[in-house]
Amino acid sequence: MPRPVITLTTDFGEGSSYVAQMKGVILTLNPEATLVDITHKVPPQDIRHGAQVLDDVTRRFPSDTIHVAVVDPGVGTERRILYARIGTQNYIAPDNGLLTLVAHRAPPSQTIVLTKRDYWLAEVSSTFHGRDIMAPVAAYLSLGLNPVSLGPPVEDLLKKTWPEAHVEDNRIEGSVVSFDSFGNLITDITIKMLGDLVTSDSVVVHCGEQQIRGIVHTYHGRKPGSLVALVGSTGLLELAIVNGNAAKTTQTEVGSPVIITW
């Protein structure tokens, strides 16, 4: 049997000792678990960003991986904590919308509310359920515990709605959802929405004061310093400066509109 993989996605910041505490709890219960950090740089309490990371990354992992996601502004309130089986992956997360995008891609085949304290730490703080509830539950699951032991099944999980890109008769209206380390703008416009426009000569991408004609296939379709639009590696339209930083040049923010016309 391969070693079980447990991933961590949080808004605790890189190098946070909160993350290290979670790892200690997991390894105490299952020293054979392989721990992988997805990211700890989700902006504080930014559920949408966390949902996007989970959607981009978790489907790349081995079947039966256990993903623990802690972006949890409601910790200490009555919000539920869920186990969900979605596709071939397992998720443990507060029921606050973090699973919206992965659950949109494929409906959960099993959803359970964590209520059985047998699988939590003996002492549960009011401010750090990631360490006291989610980490030990992940460890027990990695040891082979059947999720039905964790609590009662539920039908629903909370799905957030965010302003999302939509296709009109003669335009697509989307927005910037994040930036990567190169300063590339990631939008919420998908390759599916674009369809044949990907190879059309007449397509124009509007972003702030800028207009870009055509969608290129690689960053190298145009000369260095020019702003290009292309479909990035996660299937979303991106805007990039060839060998430069588009975030700085375009002075856009998360939420800035990106419009496609043709």
Residue with tokens 């008769």: 169
User: What is the CB neighbour count within 10 angstroms for residue 3?
Assistant: 10
Task: State which residue, 125 or 149, has the beta carbon closest to a copy of itself.
Answer: 125
User: What is the CB neighbour count within 10 angstroms for residue 150?
Assistant: 23
Asked if residue 58 binds a copy of itself (CB under 8 A), the reply is yes
Task: State which residue, 97 or 112, has the beta carbon closest to a copy of itself.
Answer: 97
Question: How many residues bind a copy of itself, per CB under 8 A?
Answer: 64
Report the run of H or E that residue 179 belongs to, with start and end: strand 171-179
C-alpha gyration radius of the chain: 20
Task: State which residue, 39 or 249, has the beta carbon closest to a copy of itself.
Answer: 39
Task: State which residue, 85 or 222, has the beta carbon closest to a copy of itself.
Answer: 222
Q: Which of 45, 109, 115, 211 binds a copy of itself (CB under 8 A)?
A: 45
Residue 145 tokens, joined: 């515990």
CA–CA separation, 191 and 197 (whole Å): 9
Cα separation of the two ends of the chain? 53
| Alpha helices (H) along the chain | 17-29, 47-57, 100-105, 129, 135-142, 191-194, 246-250
Nearest to 56 by CA among 249, 234, 238, 220: 234
From residue 189 to residue 208, what is the string marking binding to a copy of itself with x (rule CB under 8 A)? --------------------
Task: State which residue, 149 or 243, has the beta carbon closest to a copy of itself.
Answer: 243
Task: State which residue, 73 or 87, has the beta carbon closest to a copy of itself.
Answer: 73
Asked if residue 35 binds a copy of itself (CB under 8 A), the reply is yes
Asked if residue 143 binds a copy of itself (CB under 8 A), the reply is no
Q: Which of 182, 206, 256, 261 binds a copy of itself (CB under 8 A)?
A: 182
Residue with tokens 């292309």: 230
Q: Which of 109, 110, 125, 199 binds a copy of itself (CB under 8 A)?
A: 125
Task: State which residue, 126 or 202, has the beta carbon closest to a copy of itself.
Answer: 126
Asked if residue 24 binds a copy of itself (CB under 8 A), the reply is yes
Asked if residue 48 binds a copy of itself (CB under 8 A), the reply is no
CA–CA separation, 138 and 260 (whole Å): 43
Q: Are strands 5-10 and 66-70 parallel, antiparallel or unpaired?
A: parallel
From residue 228 to residue 247, what is the string marking binding to a copy of itself with x (rule CB under 8 A)? --x-xx---------x-x--
Asked if residue 7 binds a copy of itself (CB under 8 A), the reply is yes
Name 166's bridge partners: 173
| Alpha helices (H) along 81-180 | 100-105, 129, 135-142
Asked if residue 60 binds a copy of itself (CB under 8 A), the reply is yes
Residue with tokens 């596709």: 87
Interface ranges with a copy of itself (CB under 8 A): 2-3, 5, 7, 11-18, 20-21, 23-25, 27-28, 31-32, 34-41, 44-45, 53, 56-62, 65, 73-77, 125-128, 131-132, 180-183, 217-220, 230, 232-233, 243, 245
